[in-house]
Structure 1
Amino acid sequence: MSPGAGNGVLRAGDVISVQVFREADLSLDATPIAEDGTIALPLIGTIKAAGLTPAQLSQQVTQRLSKTYLVSPQVTVNLQQYASHLVSVEGAVEKPGVYPFAGEARLSSAVALAGGTSDVAKMKQVVIFRHDAQGQSVAVFDYSAVQAGTMIDPVLMPGDRVVVGLSGMTQAWQDLVKSLPALAIFTRL
């Protein structure tokens, strides 16, 4: 998804625009979503934005404005910048680091952002660590199978940690990953 498209879920740190047709005083050109997931709008006040798509947020703003302030307001919400979409890539890659990515980026995109795998990469031991509301989970991927198209190329989530090979992990993590099959299934820890 590219910025401006309406299907991705908004997250804290993303920058959005809120345009109310013919109401410049009620519109915002670029406003970041606060850490608590809210934005502040003229007349309306604070409204929850994180967890909604731009279209859903547009509907909520429209409903609030139409209740007391405007007759048939036309509201458009656009995502301007994915500030929250970061992935860390480490281990046996050419340029380890933290990289921004677009909404539907995949594991192969993260590896490409990091300059590709190094000569010593253990291609069958590519791990994605993910932390969400339910806790920490991990999945092991055979990256050579991903490249060949015989294994799923997973969609990344903001905050994912990709480790190529085992060099970027402690011995305890290495032992755990070795015990998990490379089935592209996230396992809760």
Structure 2
Amino acid sequence: MKRLLLISSVLMLCACSIPAKVELPPGQDLEQGHRAGEALAGKPLPPQRIRPGDTLRIVRNTGEAPSISAFTANSIYELTLFTVLNDGTFSYPYAGQIKAAGLTPQQLTQVLESKLKNVYQDSALTVNINQAPGNTVFVGGSVRNPASLPVTVTTTLEQAIVGAGGLLSVGDSRNIALLREGEDGRYKTYFFDYRKFMIAGNAGAAPVLLQRGDVVFVPKSSVGNGIEWVDVYLNQLIPFTKSIGIGASYEINRQSN
């Protein structure tokens, strides 16, 4: 009886350590995700949005610049730089505390010009993202080297997967997921058949450009999940319970004698 309880405890412990399986969405939702992915392929990226931690460069288009005798060229440049705080705001002269996170540079330009129109005769200015510390994409799941990778304006989904070492043999190449944050701050999921990127010409899929913050996830195929089951239960669990069973039997028999 004691041996049975011990082995049952081991089984429960090992079951808790089995990696969780990430389920694909139901068939209809998966098809819709693939259609959304096909619509996204080959399209230019949406305008980049400002995030906490970004450094903005804001320059008035007209008006007197500070005297070079009063400031060095370097300090004049620094006067145009503003860092977005963790709460998504920054302070701008005569405009006060401004909420910038989630806006595009063009949208922020309109906000500032509106606030400054009663201060300057011509309030026109230009806003650019000067530095973006979190300029990365994340690649995980059934790839050889899950990692966060730097992203440029020309980085594609295919390049990111190659940069992460490529797909594992257990990966589901037909249902690669791209999670992208929308304007509402929530992720929207797109699905792609990676095999189509390997086809040259018009028959193949168009490149999918990535933007910072994107998450690329490669799920396990049904074969991959089967291989994992074999490895956990046959190669790890059974030998372990056999060794525990022998030791437990010896201890129980010794105590009963």
TM-score norm. by structure 2 comes to: 0.50
State, as a whole percentage, how many aligned pairs show the same letter. 29
Q: Which residue pairs with 1:48 in the alignment?
A: 99
CA RMSD of aligned residues (A): 3.3
**Residues 109/16 of structure 1: CA separation in 2 closer, same or farther (3 Å cut):** farther
Q: Which residue pairs with 1:39 in the alignment?
A: 90
> Within 1, Cα distance between the matches of 2:114 and 2:65?
16
SS in 1 for 2:117: helix
More helix by share: 2
Does the 8 Å CA contact 2:170/2:220 hold for their aligned counterparts? Answer: no
CA offsets 1:153-187 (integer angstroms, 9 cap, x no match): 444454332123428xxx7xxxxxxxxxxxxxxxx
**Residues 38/109 of structure 1: CA separation in 2 closer, same or farther (3 Å cut):** farther
Q: Which residues of structure 2 form unaligned runs of 5+?
A: 1-46, 67-75, 226-257
> Within 2, Cα distance between the matches of 1:146 and 1:80?
33
SS in 2 for 1:40: strand
The structure with higher relative contact order (CA 8 Å, sep 6+) is 2
Matched, 1:80 2:104: no
> Within 1, Cα distance between the matches of 2:111 and 2:98?
9
CA offsets 1:61-103 (integer angstroms, 9 cap, x no match): 22322312x2213422111123344321123434321123235
Q: Which residue pairs with 2:216 in the alignment?
A: 162
Give the number of equivalent residue pairs: 161
Q: Which residue pairs with 2:174 in the alignment?
A: 124
**Residues 90/145 of structure 1: CA separation in 2 closer, same or farther (3 Å cut):** same
TM-score norm. by structure 1 comes to: 0.64
SS in 2 for 1:67: coil
> CA shift at 1:45, angstroms?
1.2
Tell me which of 1, 6, 11 is aligned to 2:51. 11
SS in 2 for 1:77: strand
**Residues 35/155 of structure 1: CA separation in 2 closer, same or farther (3 Å cut):** farther
**Residues 131/56 of structure 1: CA separation in 2 closer, same or farther (3 Å cut):** closer
Q: Which residues of structure 1 form unaligned runs of 5+?
A: 1-6, 172-189
**Residues 59/129 of structure 1: CA separation in 2 closer, same or farther (3 Å cut):** closer
